[in-house]
Every structure is written in C-alpha cells, then in structure tokens.
Amino acid sequence: MSTHAPSGHSRSSLTKAQKFSIAGVATLGAAALAFSIVPGSSEAEAEALDSHAAAWSTPAHAQTVQASVSKQQANASKQAKDAAAKAAADKKAADEAAAKKRAEDERKAKEAASRAAARKPVYANNLDGWIRQSLDIMKSKGIPGSYDGLHRNIMRESTGNPNAKNGWDINAINGTPSIGLLQVIQPTFSAYHVEGTSTNIYDPVANITAAANYAADRYGSIDNVNSAY
C-alpha cells in the first residue's frame, strides 16, 4: 500500500533557490518593460509610425480620399464637356458666318448682273438697230467707222435688205456671190469675221461688222468707201 505526503507539505516545498530565480525573472521583466517605454527608442518610433499608418487607413480617411478623387474626376468631366460645347458653338458660329457670306455674295452678284442688264442697250430689230449694235461692237474692237458711213454703203449695196444676194456679178460667176447688207463674199466674211458675232453671213450685225473690219484693213475705214469695194 502506497503512502502519500501530506498536501500541505507540497505547497510549501519551494526551495530557496527557486524563490531567488523567480524574483530575478520578475526583476528582469520589469527592467525590460521600463526600457521599452523610454522616449526615442527604435521600438517607440516603430509603434508611432504604426499608429500613424493606422490612422491613415481608417474608414474616415478613405472616404475623404475617395471624395477628393471623385471631385477631380467630376471637374475633368465638366471641363471636357465645356470644351466640347465651346467647339460645337464655335463651329456653328463659323458655319453661320460662312452661310451669311455666301448669301451676301450671291446677293451682290445678282445686283451686279441686274445693273449690267439694265445698262445693256436694247437694239431694235431693224436697220437702225443693226447699225447701232455693229458700231458698239466695232468700238469695243477698235474698228473705225461711223453711222453715216455704214448707212450710206448699206443703202447703195443692198437697200437695207439683209437677205440680198448678187447672182450676176463676177463674184457670182466665180461661185462666191456677194451676200447681205454690205454684199460680202464668203471668203472675205470668214477672213474678217469679228469674234462675238454670228458666223452666219446673212446675220445683219455679223455682216456689217465683218465688212467694216475688211474696209478698215483695206481703206482705213468704211467711211472712206463710196463705191463698190
């Protein structure tokens, strides 16, 4: 049968050496704790940085950063929209200005054409009108001649008939009859035709102008012609 030591004896059985050891550990722990809280120590600085970083990572700070980013994005979006709106407004203004200028140019062109038409003389479709129209063309081309010189020779050559045709003189015999108001043969008409007039030898204005051009080249002026030429 086993024997047991009294329980009271086991609680008070620490040796003196053990008691000294426990006291030493406690003393060292207190010293270490005191050292760890000395200001300026590396551990204190690390704890301060950790505390500062923790403060920056709080939900309140994250919300502030997010709000700032959202505000910057909103500002950038607004600036982009404003720039697009300005560009559209500038384009619209430019298009309107161009359209206004085109309309103004067209209006001026019509007015100029209207004034030119108003200034353009209207010639009567008769001998007087044909002579006057021929004289204006002759003047613009530098061909000499007067109303009297033209009228006098016309009356002698054709009595004012634009369809007159000589079928018996030497020209007719040679196959090139004299034709029109001033009795011009086709080769002469073609050689002295004045640009801007009809190419039809029977046309009154074309016939007069070509004959006056020929007379100016050969006699100096239709005014100098007083007989067959």
pTM: 0.52
| DSSP class of 227 | S
Q: Which residue has the higher pLDDT, 48 or 40?
A: 48
Share of the chain above pLDDT 70, in %: 73
pLDDT for the residue 113: 79
- Rg over CA atoms, the chain: 61
Identity (one letter) of the amino acid at 209?
T
pLDDT tens sequence across 124-133: 999 999 999 9
Q: Are 178 and 185 in contact (CB under 8 A)?
A: yes
Work out the burial of residue 172: count CB atoms within 10 Å of its CB; fewer than 13 is exposed, 13-18 middle, 19 or more buried.
Answer: middle
Q: At residue 124, what are phi and psi to the nearest 5 degrees?
A: -70, 145
Confidence of residue 3 (pLDDT cuts 50, 70, 90): very low
Check residue 222 and give its pLDDT.
97
In angstroms, rounded to a whole number, what is the distance separating the alpha carbons of residues 5 and 11?
A: 11
For 48, the token pair is 């301060």
